[in-house]
Amino acid sequence: MSKLWGGRFTKKTDQLVEEYTASITFDKELAVEDIQGSMAHVSMLGKCGVLPAEDVDTIKNGLQQVLGMIERGELEYTIANEDIHMNIEKTLIDLIGPVGGKLHTGRSRNDQVATDMHLYLRKRVVEFVGLLQKLQEALITQAKANIDTIVPGYTHLQRAQPILLAHHLMAYVSMFGRDIERLQDSYKRINVLPLGAGALAGTTFAIDRHYTAELLGFDGVYENSLDAVSDRDFIVEFLSNASMIMVHLSRLCEEMVLWMSTEFGFIELDDAFCTGSSIMPQKKNPDVAELVRGKTGRVYGNLFGLLTVLKSLPLAYNKDMQEDKEGMFDTVRTLQGALQLFAPMVATMKVNQGRMRQAVNQDFSNATDIADFLVNKGMPFREAHEVIGKTVLYCIQNGKFLLDLTLDEFKQFSELFDDRIYAVLQPEQVVNARNVYGGTATPQVTAAITRAEAKLTET
């Protein structure tokens, strides 16, 4: 089979070289975007008078037929045609004859492939914002159902201060909110058209890049033709944003795995989102949460892979850049899988409120509040810290919790104690005392939920 670029060559390509350099096995994923870009390009060529109207019509009809073949899975991709661009162009020429060869006028595969990836990622960004919002909704619903559920809050994975479970869940809503903002911000750099840059220097044809941009719904065109074909920042940025989403998901995964252990017993994930053991009949494993946590690694790997490919790469296009695709596709698939599963997994998660309450009752997470009580009575905080430290030690040595102590026992540590401390030590009181903007008190968390819901409906 003759190559689209065969003119200058006197020999066939080595079979192994052909296999090694081809990208069709993976870049066929850009088929629809490639047609979309070509449609706009050829329309622009017609509008600018570079191609006569009848050629434009013939080519557009041909492209439409190729699209039909792609959609029906009838297009036979070949390694001999190297990549998606040449597979499509070759098929077009086979269908409509030599006029199909006019499609590539004023264009190079370098600006073509960049355009395809901009079109591809633009769709994905919209899709991922939607999926993240679904996850936020599931978290908010759980937060509302648990507006009264008190749970130990941890630092160093040691019980620190009691908080509302709703507050804990809303922390993730904030994290995913930043992920959404980052994706939305990246859109302005993705929604720029490279086409018209040619191979690297522009083109001799009197084309109208802005018109192509308009047809494709891009907000603008690349300023510099060299940059247009060399830039892969927008993919790095996507991989970085994806990595951050995975960081956040992996932290939630870890908490779900811990919380579902017998030792915590705080939650139970629905049967539909767990799997069993082939040997231990009693097992119910939080596999989805574990696997999302594990898949975080490959997304970071893809980010580092592309950064490394681009490092020190001279301008403009280099074949190295073909390596930008597999990691991007893999990241898209990984993220789609994780986000699609996560929202329903959170929505169907059962919360063991009794178990959480039991945990809160059996810990010293109200110790800060009793120190604050002494501070309010005039004791310097450092001194109060010391006094309560000793009180806690006494409790530990005597198998008691703070609420078990009699007033006389309290008074051994400071004369400032009085019977109002029993109210101060109640978990509800401890939680509601933190009535600062962004804090865990019920009115604050309720307000945070309202703000988050408003944000969700406005987008």
Angle between helices 165-190 and 109-145 (to 10 degrees): 160
Among 40, 113, 150, 216, binds ligand ARG (CB under 6 A): 113
Burial class (CB in 10 A: 0-12, 13-18, 19+), 85: buried
Among 58, 91, 110, 146, binds ligand ARG (CB under 6 A): 110
Q: Which stretch binds ligand ARG (CB under 6 A): 188-196, 257-265, 316-324, 342-350?
A: 316-324
244 vs 309 by CB, closer to ligand ARG: 309
Tell me which H or E stretch contains 347: helix 325-347
- Per rule CB under 6 A, count of chain residues that contact ligand ARG: 10
- Single-letter residue type at 188: K
Among residues 156, 240, 250, 312, which one is catalytic? 156
Q: Which stretch binds ligand ARG (CB under 6 A): 69-77, 107-115, 357-365, 403-411?
A: 107-115
Neighbours of 208 (CB within 10 A): 15
Decide if 365 is catalytic: no
With beta carbons less than 8 A apart as the criterion, state whether 230 and 162 touch. Answer: no
Among 90, 109, 118, 295, binds ligand ARG (CB under 6 A): 109
- Site residues (CB under 6 A) for ligand ARG, limited to 18-77: 23, 27
Q: Tell me which DSSP letter residue 30 carries.
A: G
- Single-letter residue type at 1: M
Count, in order, helices (H) and strands (E) of the chain: 19, 6
**Cα 298–303–305 angle (5° rounding)?**
85
- Single-letter residue type at 451: R
Neighbours of 299 (CB within 10 A): 25
46 vs 198 by CB, closer to ligand ARG: 198
Q: How far apart are CA 167 and CA 148, in angstroms?
A: 10
Q: How far is the CB of 86 from ligand ARG (least distance, A)?
A: 8
Q: How far apart are CA 69 and CA 63, in angstroms?
A: 10
Q: How far apart are CA 12 and CA 224, in angstroms?
A: 36
Q: How far is the CB of 194 from ligand ARG (least distance, A)?
A: 12
Q: How far is the CB of 16 from ligand ARG (least distance, A)?
A: 18
Among 43, 58, 87, 322, binds ligand ARG (CB under 6 A): 322
Residues facing residue 159 across a β-bridge: 154
List all residues 6 or more positions away from 335 whose beta carbon is below 8 Å from its beta carbon.
128, 131, 242, 245, 246, 299
Identify the CA nearest to 341 among candidates 127, 135, 129: 135
- Return the beta strands (E) in 315-388 as ranges: 350-351
Among 172, 259, 273, 317, binds ligand ARG (CB under 6 A): 317
Q: How far is the CB of 113 from ligand ARG (least distance, A)?
A: 4
With beta carbons less than 8 A apart as the criterion, state whether 116 and 55 touch. Answer: no
115 vs 366 by CB, closer to ligand ARG: 115
- Site residues (CB under 6 A) for ligand ARG, limited to 234-293: none
Tokens representing 84? 């998606």
113 vs 395 by CB, closer to ligand ARG: 113
201 vs 396 by CB, closer to ligand ARG: 201
Among 321, 360, 384, 445, binds ligand ARG (CB under 6 A): 321
Decide if 186 is catalytic: no
Q: Which stretch binds ligand ARG (CB under 6 A): 149-157, 313-321, 427-435, 447-455?
A: 313-321
111 lies in the site for ligand ARG, by CB under 6 A? no
125 vs 328 by CB, closer to ligand ARG: 328
Neighbours of 359 (CB within 10 A): 19
Residues facing residue 267 across a β-bridge: 351
Q: How far is the CB of 89 from ligand ARG (least distance, A)?
A: 12
Among residues 167, 210, 248, 277, which one is catalytic? 277
With beta carbons less than 8 A apart as the criterion, state whether 391 and 403 touch. Answer: no
154 vs 329 by CB, closer to ligand ARG: 329
Q: How far is the CB of 27 from ligand ARG (least distance, A)?
A: 6
81 vs 136 by CB, closer to ligand ARG: 81
Among 34, 55, 83, 330, binds ligand ARG (CB under 6 A): 83
Show which residues are catalytic: 156, 277
Q: Which residues bind ligand ARG (CB under 6 A)?
A: 23, 27, 83, 109-110, 113, 317, 319, 321-322
